[in-house]
């Protein structure tokens, strides 16, 4: 899931405003705390996630995905703001953008891939391929209208875990895959949907360092040293 896809941007349909985004637009004090270079606060690390839904999930399902992802990130010890961006709108340059795609990954080379990140981009963005995540949870994407409440819960859980896996790739580029758990290169059904959240204390620590690094906190990262794998 960690491979960097070529051509994925072609299906994202998002425009990047970059420097043309007015600095004050929609920005409040918490935003400044989040990403101001060197603007370290004493509270827990803070992250902004912007969700874009190309899968046209039912509103309830999209909100459930956001809530589950926020809860997972919070369990990693990081406060998070979740926002929704409409498809086709400008990216939020201060956020990690999560793009929820309908169907499968766009190329044969990415068959079975549940999530992907754009590592080289100036803006941190990741893609989640709903049909492949559903398949990983052993659910049929094409029959999703007939899913039970527990099927829908399993899908939400799986989507949020794939999202968090990709967020870790973005925030902790030094970190390789683990043999099992949230950062396994192949997440099986149990890892995707079991009630036990599949991450370790060491991953939690790396995640906090990654968020700090995003905020420009090189010093605590250097103090902590490289992580054991
Ligand atoms: Zn991966």
Q: What is the pLDDT of residues 120-163, one digit of tens each?
A: 667 889 999 999 999 999 999 999 999 999 999 999 999 999 99
- C-alpha of residue 177 to centroid of ligand 1, in Å: 6
- C-alpha of residue 166 to centroid of ligand 1, in Å: 6
- C-alpha of residue 36 to centroid of ligand 1, in Å: 28
Q: Check residue 45 and give its pLDDT.
A: 73
Q: Could you give the residue ranges of the DSSP H alpha helices within the chain?
A: 29-35, 59-75, 130-136, 149-171, 189-193, 201-214, 218-224
pLDDT of residue 220 exceeding 80: no
58: left (phi over 0), alpha (psi -120 to 50) or beta: beta
Residues 192-213 have a mean pLDDT of 89
For 10-47, b/e burial (b = at least 16 CB within 10 A) is eebebebeeeebeeeeeeeeebeebbeeeeeeeeebbb
In which band, very low, low, confident or very high, does the pLDDT at 215 lie, cut at 50, 70 and 90? confident
- C-alpha of residue 3 to centroid of ligand 1, in Å: 7
Residues 68-95 have a mean pLDDT of 90
- Mean per-residue pLDDT of the chain: 77
- C-alpha of residue 162 to centroid of ligand 1, in Å: 9
Name 60's Cβ contacts closer than 8 Å, sequence gap at least 6: none
- Please state the pTM of the whole predicted model: 0.76
Residues 156-182 have a mean pLDDT of 94
pLDDT of residue 85 exceeding 60: yes
> Which residues have CB atoms below 5 A from the ion given as ligand 1?
1-2
């Amino acid at each position: 899931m960690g491979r960097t896809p070529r051509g994925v941007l072609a299906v994202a349909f998002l425009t990047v405003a970059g420097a043309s985004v007015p600095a004050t637009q929609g920005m409040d004090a918490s935003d400044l705390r989040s990403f101001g270079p060197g603007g370290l606060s004493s509270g827990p690390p803070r992250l902004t996630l912007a969700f874009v839904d190309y899968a046209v999930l039912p509103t309830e399902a999209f909100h459930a995905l956001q809530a589950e992802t926020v809860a997972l990130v919070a369990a990693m010890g990081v406060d998070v703001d979740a926002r929704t961006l409409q498809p086709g709108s400008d990216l939020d340059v201060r956020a990690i953008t999560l793009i929820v795609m309908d169907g499968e990954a766009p190329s044969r080379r990415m068959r079975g891939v549940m999530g992907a990140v754009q590592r080289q981009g100036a803006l941190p963005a990741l893609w989640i391929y709903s049909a492949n995540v559903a398949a990983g949870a052993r659910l049929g994407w094409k029959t999703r209208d007939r899913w039970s409440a527990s099927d829908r819960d399993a899908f939400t859980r799986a989507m949020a875990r794939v999202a968090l896996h990709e967020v870790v790739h973005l925030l902790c580029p030094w970190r390789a895959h683990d043999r099992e758990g949230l950062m396994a290169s192949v997440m099986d059904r149990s890892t995707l949907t079991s009630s036990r959240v599949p991450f370790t204390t060491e991953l939690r620590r790396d995640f906090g360092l990654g968020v700090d690094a995003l905020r420009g906190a090189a010093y605590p990262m250097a103090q902590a040293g490289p992580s054991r794998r």
